[in-house]
Structure 1
Amino acid sequence: MAGRLAPVPELSAAGYTAASPPLSVYRESIRSVAVSGGRITPSLFSQSGNGGYGHSGNSGSGASGSGSTSGSSYPSNNSGSSSGSSVAAAADYGAQELTKIARRMVSDGYTQRMVSAFENGGGSDRALEAWFSELDVDWVLQIPGAEGGGSWRQLRLQDSVKRWIRAFIIIVASIKEVAATAVHDHETTAVALFGKGSIAKMLVFIDAIAPAAASSKEENLRAVLDMYICVSSASDMFSPEAQAKFKGLSKKIFMDVGGSLPREVKRLNKAVYSTVLEVRAFVEDDESWAVEIPRGRGDVHRNTWLMVNCIKSMQDKARYHDTQYLRGLIDDSVLHLKELLLRKSELCSDQSLRYLFLLNNSYLVAMMVEAWSLLVEPWSKHEWRPAPECLKYMNRYLDVSWGHVQSHMPKTAFVHGSGRLQMLFCMLAPLQNWKRTASHAKFESAFHKTYQAQRFWKVPNPQLRDELRKTITERVVPGYRSYLRKHPELERGGSSSPDVLEEMLGELFEG
């Protein structure tokens, strides 16, 4: 029945006498409303500055994604708009726009005619076909007897959830609008029965999505999160306070609806939790860690991207419908990811690469899901203040990688005391010169060995990359430059001049 409205009788006896609107006039408007946000991608991370979030408007393909080792292989989603209005619409699932459409449906008399059809049809599914068709969810009525099939399974999971959310919001908004304008008890009761029947059919989809085949675990989590927030919000709308103005049978019916929604919220709570556990198990058991950390040259691992996107999805929902349950799950997931990264980093035999991997991955976590830990104040946005955990891994990397290079830096001897001691120093000067030459050679050798080994290691975030280069340069070059000034005989002006070393360090970590 897609595209056409079933003929429905007027409900003139109840006062519903508005003219019928054109066929399918609302469905295209409903479809055009954006209902969910996007995902973070490696490209957005590598282009970011002081730790802002990356968003895009539409859901990506949902492939389970690889992120770091090969940035282009991670499923990207750069098709969305970053405008404020688009983000706001996605944040509240387009509720404002959908509510306007619902009010227009009531103003046109369309919803009242659907109530009439449902009442005169004895509450049958057939009476809901036109209603659900206009709401773009006629496939929901196929679910109970579909036995795992049905046309709805031809839709991508996220697409079906988006359609479901749009329809659910309009159903709730329409029922409240019509019930508020009803004059007689008979009208209110008819609306209550229609609302209860519509919502009951919609809630069947919650059971159906559990075994639904999503193209990725991240997509499945976003789907159950979206439904969780949507049903939770509707549950608030049917609170005892909201039902106070109703009485008699209509109040009882609305109380039944209000009582059923919290149960669905608990079921969706469990679905969210079980999906998060599935993601954790998948990441934990992935055998690619030991291979891809060295292959990725310390880059952000694809599993880190997967976990960050899942945590960010929960944070986005909690921002607009905060619950203690969701906050607790977010905090636990962040802690689990940090511990996981530390454990998986032990698979890397090269300690320098291990700490660079921990630095890159921890910085992503801090920037994307713990922005507060970067401590960047508005007045000091150009001052880089890494999270303590990131600073710890950076210092360990510097000590392991460049500490031994610094240790070969020759020390200048300063002789104080009697003339006899100075005479002894002069006698030992040839030996000291030989030691200086040997130490200088060791320093050059250690520097070039470290540089060649790490030349193509990767730090994807430009700010972190610049800071790391700067810190290495400050540790190595000034002391070397000062030493050569005191011993010009060692400076050959060749490949190991301080300026050349500084230029070489500026080429590190491009991957």
Structure 2
Amino acid sequence: MSARIKTIIAEARLDSGGGYDNSSGGGSSPASPWATESDGSSSADEFCPQDLSEFRHHASPLSSVRGDDFDRDYIRHVSVASLRALDDIDIHKHQQRMLLLLPDFAAPANTAARAEALSHWLSGFDVGWVLDMDAPGSSGGDESAFPRRELGRRVSAWAQALGTMERVFRLRHHEELTPAPAAALGELAVASAGAMLKLVNAVAALGSSPSKLLAALDLYAPLSETYPALARLFSLGPSHPVPAAAEAALAELVDAARRSGRDLWAFIRSNYPWQMPQGGEVHPCVGFWMGYFRCMLRSRVALHFVLGNEDGESPATGATEGSHRLVAELISCLEAVLEENATALAFPGLRQVFMLNNTHAITGRAVGSDLQRFLPSEWLRVREERMEDHIKGYMDASWAPVLSRLDCGGRAKQPARRRSPLSAFYAAFEGECSAQRCWKVPSPALRGVLRKTVSEYVVPAYRRYLEDNPEVEAGPGRTVEELEQQLSELFEG
């Protein structure tokens, strides 16, 4: 049996693309906590005209050049050397757009023009919505206004936009700029960084939830790395409003992530509707939570802080050890909740099938995926043994009573019955087959193992009974082959 279990685990790993969700909701809700959606951006070359005048036609500049000391020729000048060094056409697009917007950030300041230019600039990165996050009726702080998919999409767009902005600012800053364009570039960078903090503050203000934890983890690295880099690039001291605000936002984000991290066990028990599948198939929560655990591990260093390692221990060691422990404990919690809720199923055999299906699904999603590196060496062996135990428990609950009607199979003999042993056997056999045709084992390999196990247990005993009792004739449709055929139709759902 152990060899068969290992084989079906290996097949499940191949079928599910390296252990990740596939047939049971791996790429769609609810199995994927973050769902990647198109950001609706333009094609790569839509705003990449051959010269600046054509770009002006597409971009519709918001204002003309202002400021006597601003280098007007700078707007028309694009460094050919720099553009040749860039192989990212999006960077080229953003640089050209920045050339048109920089005049609005030159001295003397025009507040309205700057606000319009900043909105145009951020919208080019698909993050113009950050400007509205603290407006009345916006999503900031309101968890109901942030569905899981939408929150994930915004966090992903935010992180990508911030990284691209930092690269654009760095490339332009390294050029030979006159004082006015350099100052305008710094003002644009400060305004952009300040506006981007609104999402961080909104996430930190959300109530504790699984989605909030993932969002906080995904925001942590860009926030902790990019903002200090921008501060160094533009010589912004710690007392400058933007670095100070970023430091405060980071502290709030870490605190919020820790609170959600401590609530994970409660989330597993209560966050998903525990309506049991009556066919014993894989519960949808398995795909959701196993995908969620993988998403958590995308940000392992950030996860170090969620674990509360505040004693100065290196994230490289503390986070790894803590993540190993955390992943194993969370999966164990999920398994315990499945076991508890299995009692709601009507039949003991069905409960075993349910646990077999779900243990198999959990194992298939872990083995060969990122999760496996964070699980103890004996983890897989323990699950293999559990699956064997579930199969044995299923056989004892469902088929041992059927064979007991024949007073064979190595079971204790039952009291004498008025009906013949064969009639009692047929009735029990039909009852089990009728019920178990409605039970579902989604994995073809696992379904085949169960069918073969049942057949190898029931059919030889029935054949032996007929051979030992030649005076008894099998009923119509009750040949050995016909019983085998009936058993081959189990678990189709």
**Category of TM-score, reference length = shorter chain:** 0.5 to 0.7
1:447 pairs with 2:429? yes
How far the C-alpha of 1:374 sits from its partner, in A, is: 12
Letter in 2 for 1:103: I
Letter in 1 for 2:357: N
Alignment of 1:390-409 (within 5 A): 390-409=387-406
Task: Pick one of 78, 83, 88 that aligns with 1:100.
Answer: 88
SS at 1:144 equivalent: coil
SS at 1:297 equivalent: coil
Letter in 2 for 1:208: A
1:117 pairs with 2:104? yes
Letter in 1 for 2:330: S
How far apart, CA to CA, are the structure 1 residues paired with 2:371 and 2:395? 20
In 2 relative to 1, CA 206–263 (structure 1 residues): closer, same or farther, beyond 3 Å? same
Letter in 1 for 2:269: E
1:311 pairs with 2:293? yes
How far the C-alpha of 1:257 sits from its partner, in A, is: 6.4
Equivalent position of 2:82 in the other structure: none
**Larger RCO (CA under 8 A, 6+ residues apart):** 2
SS at 1:146 equivalent: coil
Equivalent position of 1:133 in the other structure: 123
How far apart, CA to CA, are the structure 1 residues paired with 2:459 and 2:179? 86
Letter in 1 for 2:466: L
Letter in 2 for 1:117: D
1:252 pairs with 2:228? no
In 2 relative to 1, CA 504–254 (structure 1 residues): closer, same or farther, beyond 3 Å? farther
1:225 pairs with 2:225? no
1:506 pairs with 2:491? no
Q: Tell whether the 8 Å contact from 1:102 to 1:174 is kept in structure 2 after alignment.
A: no
Alignment of 1:20-419 (within 5 A): 48=15, 52-54=19-21, 100-105=88-93, 108=96, 110-120=97-107, 122=109, 124=111, 126=115, 127-146=117-136, 148=138, 156-181=150-175, 191-209=185-203, 221-222=210-211, 225-226=214-215, 228-233=217-222, 235-237=224-226, 250=235, 252=237, 264-265=249-250, 267-272=252-257, 274=259, 281=266, 284-285=269-270, 289=274, 292-293=275-276, 296-315=278-297, 317-318=298-299, 325=306, 327=323, 329-348=326-345, 350-371=347-368, 387-411=384-408
How far apart, CA to CA, are the structure 2 residues paired with 1:385 and 1:149? 45
Q: Tell whether the 8 Å contact from 2:155 to 2:219 is kept in structure 1 after alignment.
A: no
How far apart, CA to CA, are the structure 2 residues paired with 1:356 and 1:111? 61
SS at 2:397 equivalent: helix
Alignment RMSD (CA, Å): 5.0
- Uncovered stretches (5+) of structure 2, i.e. residues with no partner: 1-11, 39-85, 308-322, 373-380, 411-415
Deviation string 1:459-501 (CA, Å, 9 cap, x unpaired) is: 2222222221122112222333344345444342633322112
How far the C-alpha of 1:412 sits from its partner, in A, is: 10
Deviation string 1:314-337 (CA, Å, 9 cap, x unpaired) is: 34x348988575836544432221
Letter in 1 for 2:131: L
SS at 1:235 equivalent: helix
How far apart, CA to CA, are the structure 1 residues paired with 2:244 and 2:206? 27
How far apart, CA to CA, are the structure 2 residues paired with 1:275 and 1:168? 25
How far apart, CA to CA, are the structure 1 residues paired with 2:94 and 2:17? 47
Letter in 2 for 1:236: E
- Uncovered stretches (5+) of structure 1, i.e. residues with no partner: 1-44, 68-73, 81-97, 376-383, 414-433
How far the C-alpha of 1:284 sits from its partner, in A, is: 3.3
Equivalent position of 2:8 in the other structure: none
How far the C-alpha of 1:228 sits from its partner, in A, is: 3.2
SS at 1:387 equivalent: helix
Letter in 1 for 2:189: G
Identity in percent: 25
Letter in 2 for 1:111: M
How far apart, CA to CA, are the structure 2 residues paired with 1:374 and 1:212? 28
How far apart, CA to CA, are the structure 2 residues paired with 1:440 and 1:373? 53
